[in-house]
Amino acid sequence: MTDTNETRTRILAAAARVFAQKGYHETRVDDIVVESGSSKGSVYFHFPSKERIFLALIDTFTDLLETRLRESILSEEHGLQQIDAALQTSLKLFQQYRGLAKIVLVQAVGLGTAFEERRRQINTRFSAIIQARLEQAIKDGSIPAQQTDLAARAWVGALNEIVIHWIYTGETDLQETLPALRSFLLRSIGIVTE
């Protein structure tokens, strides 16, 4: 990794900590400068505004989540197994990166058109991944035929709500929700579990 990439990564890591602690509105670029141990010029070289730093964090987390989901899906052969793997991977990643999850799912809400458009794009990306897995599950006979686009969006919404509740309350290990969440989501597509 070049020095420029290392600096950018250090700035993003510092920004994630500051945003997670202070929130978007209370964070100043100077806070990120201090936390990252960088100069103000270096921060502005990589990110011309606080908004761009925030969007870069959203993109970083989203790309990481998508990469891990695709890897977990490729490790399984059938659609329903792929769905299970993706759900487990999602919860593990949200648990591991709670601060980034908070930034993406909580702090980005209501920050204006640029952020809302980014959130819509992210939800569309993940709905498409789920929809493809549901369509594969229909093809291999694991689930009955259904409107996969609607089911995928409902799943994204349900997962968002579970994670957001966990972020706000911190009341339980996110992994502990997996059996009940899995059962609920599978029932929504016509699979009854014990």
Question: Are residues 99 and 60 part of one domain?
Answer: yes
Q: At residue 153, what are phi and psi to the nearest 5 degrees?
A: -65, -40
Q: Please give the model's pTM, rounded to 2 decimal places.
A: 0.80
| Residue where a domain terminates, one of 48, 70, 87 | 48
19: containing domain: 1-48
Question: Are residues 104 and 125 part of one domain?
Answer: yes
Quick check: is 193 in a domain? no
Quick check: is 33 in a domain? yes
The pLDDT tens digits of the residues spanning 45-56 come to 999 998 889 888
**Percent helix, strand, coil in the chain (nearest 5)?**
80, 0, 20
Question: Are residues 61 and 37 part of one domain?
Answer: no
The pLDDT tens digits of the residues spanning 129-154 come to 889 888 988 998 888 999 999 999 99
Quick check: is 78 in a domain? yes
Count other Cβ atoms within 10 Å, centred on residue 20.
Answer: 20
Residue, of 114 and 42, whose pLDDT is higher: 42
Question: Are residues 69 and 44 part of one domain?
Answer: no
Quick check: is 177 in a domain? yes
